[in-house]
Structure 1
Amino acid sequence: MTKILFGLLSAFLFINCGSSDSNDDTTTSESMYFPPVSGTNWDTKSISALGWKQEAVQPLLDYLELKHTKSFIILVNGRIVMENYFNGHSATSNWYWASTGKTLTATLTGIAEQEGFININNKVSNYIGTAWTAETIDKENLITCKNLLTMTSGIEDIANGDDVSPSKLTYKADAGTRWVYHNVYVKLQDVIAQATGQSWSNYFNAKLRDKIGMNGVWLPLDNNIVYFSNTRSMARFGLLMLNKGKWDDTVILNETFFNAATSTSQNINLSYGYLWWLNGKSSYHLPQSQLQFPGSIIANGPNDMFMALGKNDQKIYVIPSKKMVVIRMGDAADNVNLALSDFDDVLWQKINALYK
């Protein structure tokens, strides 16, 4: 964590060259493309056709390979501009999403709400019963589904780690008064399963995965249940979010929930929505820290970018102003990290060089 803090703080010694959110004529005039739900066909767009700089491609690829990347994709208006695999990984290889998959849970929560199964403002115990924590009943009843979406449950985060068994979910603060990055959000999966009368994975597959042509499965990893898929499946999800929850003309997630999910969700960590990280805000908090840092999380990243960020540098970057989605899967770029590292900022220097 010291390395993470140092790397991100050091970014503020430099001018934020990623603040421009301007579009070019190509991206604004071209229609959004969606690959077929079945099959492997996916339209492409060349670097030259976009007017980007071919000479910036190899330095980016060299950096990605150096930093233990397994796969990398850039979409513009849904079309593949770059798709590269490294270190024995391939288009058919599956890899874990880690905490990038938190945004899958957020999306399914929104879908369950729009279908009338839940209300995120209701307390969690309405759906999974009381004593799901070790808190007193009055404190437990303060915790709503929205608190789980926004990381403001008030659950103790350091002493008990990411264990979400009831005995380990102990009181630290009243719900809504403290932001902390914690695995307790997975209780939303239990909420959805109970409310819908389906297993989490069955509901996920029917309402999201199969509707947009993803592959993948939820599997245990490091005492968590995490999503594994190929890289194009992660890109499909990013494209869905770029289009505000619609797959072509089909509404998967309603735009009201999407807008809330990708906007500041509480007044403690301005750079956090509903399990999405938000760039371009005036301050941010980091995992395992109560410190508030000034400025944007990724200084070189576009200000309107929202992000799914996972352990060991799993990344989904969505940039509405550029009609762009960027995906990175792989091992940790440097040391093992929870979600954020200085890798993000350097990577965006390389990406910016493509078109600036």
Structure 2
Amino acid sequence: MKKIALLLFTVLFFGCNSEDENSNATENMYFPPIGSSTWETKTVSSLGWNESQVQPLLDYLEEKHTKGFIVLQNGRIVLENYFNGHSATAATYWASAGKTLTATVSGIAEQEGYININNKVSDYLGTGWTSAPLAKENLITNKHLLTMTSGLDDTRGDDVSPANLQYIADAGTRWAYHNVYVKLQDVISQSTGQTWSAYFNAKLRDKIGMTGIWLPYQGLSVYSSNTRSMARFGLLALNEGKWENTQIVPANYMINATTTSQNINLAYGYLWWLNGKTSYHLPQTQYQFSGTLIPSAPSEMYCALGKNDQKIYVIPSRKIVIVRMGDAADGTNFALSDFDETLWQKINAVIN
């Protein structure tokens, strides 16, 4: 028998004994307490969703090597499931979905006056942080790192040492998925006088009750946490950087981060992927694809996507956050995969 941890959901009461679409629309946003495992829940039926399609969704997730899966609506857990020997307390790495953590902390550091995203990277790291000619290196700003438009050669692997960061085009003229974004962590560390992890923990992780640590991975650092911590971060993003009554990240920065950031890859913000655009680029290619990133998903959706199908999907109008952690659904992939499209067809069968 499949071991599926399907929640027995509780129904929340707001002055009445049932919830209809109107009450859901006016219901207050919920934020789980800091330092507590308590998290309010809602039933699929209370939302008017299709209960008969939940099990097919869960079966598909288990078949596709999922470890953890959470659906939030208005901050409350509607589905929370663990598969393939995983558990609520077990940690999984975010891979490139964690790029959005770096983008978010960059907004906090800018608000606190430590950095300006429009300033050149060499203002913080000094010259020679790349192997590009000085004039070309000085074109690269923090914003170019946030938008994947540094102009540095993306074909040389994960190594971000100066010798491996070589010029291929002027900053801002070429979009290429590149791990050079991690230099933003050095920028923040240098400007704040703190280690990256210390600043991250104090300014983001601990303020929203996440757990997790940064781990070394192929010369970089990747974040690892349990599934609920990823859901907490998705909830912060849904609320434009606000956690309950505290604005942790400037709202205008979060809006910019989840809006088209340049005119080359319309489906990319500040290390966030954007659905519903007329074209998009993917990692490891310069080809421009026509159409939207995930056709079956809401056009307004933005998402954090990582290697081996780590996912955070945010749908603002529905106040929904969906998290998937696990191993690659179908072989190794770097961000987007065919899994996203099929998964969204099955999610739609539940929520629509």
TM-score interval, normalised by the smaller of the two chains? over 0.9
SS of the residue corresponding to residue 325 of structure 1 reads strand
Task: Give the letter for the 2:274 counterpart.
Answer: L
Task: Give the letter for the 1:229 counterpart.
Answer: S
CA RMSD after TM alignment: 1.0
State how 1:176-187 maps to structure 2 within 5 Å: 176-187=172-183
Q: Report if the CA contact (8 A) 1:27-1:322 is conserved.
A: no
Tell me the equivalent position of 1:258: 254
Task: Give the letter for the 2:104 counterpart.
Answer: T
Tell me the equivalent position of 1:167: 163
Q: Does 1:277 align with 2:277?
A: no
Q: Report if the CA contact (8 A) 2:158-2:218 is conserved.
A: no
Aligned residues: 333
Q: Report if the CA contact (8 A) 1:316-1:325 is conserved.
A: yes
Tell me the equivalent position of 1:11: none
SS of the residue corresponding to residue 37 of structure 2 reads coil
Distance 1:225 1:28 in 2: 40
Q: Does 1:118 align with 2:115?
A: yes
* Offset at residue 224 of structure 1 (A): 2.1
* Offset at residue 161 of structure 1 (A): 1.4
Task: Give the letter for the 2:147 counterpart.
Answer: T
TM-score (norm 1): 0.92
Tell me the equivalent position of 2:207: 211
Q: Does 1:107 align with 2:109?
A: no
Change (3 A) 1:26 1:331: farther
Task: Give the letter for the 2:284 counterpart.
Answer: Q
Q: Does 1:128 align with 2:125?
A: yes
Change (3 A) 1:24 1:134: farther
Task: Give the letter for the 1:256 counterpart.
Answer: N
Q: Report if the CA contact (8 A) 2:151-2:168 is conserved.
A: yes
Q: Report if the CA contact (8 A) 1:231-1:329 is conserved.
A: yes
SS of the residue corresponding to residue 118 of structure 1 reads coil
Distance 2:263 2:195 in 1: 34
One of 148, 153, 157 as aligned partner of 2:145 = 148
Q: Does 1:313 align with 2:309?
A: yes
* Offset at residue 26 of structure 1 (A): 4.6
Task: Give the letter for the 2:86 counterpart.
Answer: H
Distance 1:137 1:104 in 2: 29
Q: Does 1:65 align with 2:40?
A: no
Tell me the equivalent position of 1:226: 222
Distance 2:119 2:291 in 1: 33
Task: Give the letter for the 1:320 counterpart.
Answer: P
TM-score (norm 2): 0.93
Tell me the equivalent position of 1:50: 47
Tell me the equivalent position of 2:12: none
Which structure has more relative contact order (CA 8 Å, sep 6+)? It is 1
Distance 2:218 2:125 in 1: 24
State how 1:297-312 maps to structure 2 within 5 Å: 297-312=293-308
Tell me the equivalent position of 2:347: 351
* Offset at residue 222 of structure 1 (A): 2.9
Q: Report if the CA contact (8 A) 1:264-1:271 is conserved.
A: yes
1:295-330 CA-to-partner distances (Å, cap 9, x unmatched) read: 110000001000000000000000001100000000
Tell me the equivalent position of 2:198: 202
SS of the residue corresponding to residue 206 of structure 2 reads helix
Tell me the equivalent position of 1:329: 325
Distance 1:124 1:221 in 2: 23
Q: Report if the CA contact (8 A) 1:284-1:296 is conserved.
A: yes
1:230-279 CA-to-partner distances (Å, cap 9, x unmatched) read: 00000000000000000011011001101110000000000000000000
SS of the residue corresponding to residue 307 of structure 1 reads strand
1:184-229 CA-to-partner distances (Å, cap 9, x unmatched) read: 0000000000000000000000000000000000001233210000
Aligned residues: percent identity?
69
Which of structure 1's runs of 4+ aligned residues deviate more than 4 A?
none
Q: Report if the CA contact (8 A) 1:150-1:265 is conserved.
A: yes
SS of the residue corresponding to residue 308 of structure 1 reads strand
Q: Report if the CA contact (8 A) 1:27-1:323 is conserved.
A: no
Task: Give the letter for the 2:134 counterpart.
Answer: I
Task: Give the letter for the 1:55 counterpart.
Answer: S
Q: Does 1:83 align with 2:61?
A: no
Which segments of 5 or more consecutive residues in structure 2 lack a partner in the other structure? 1-19
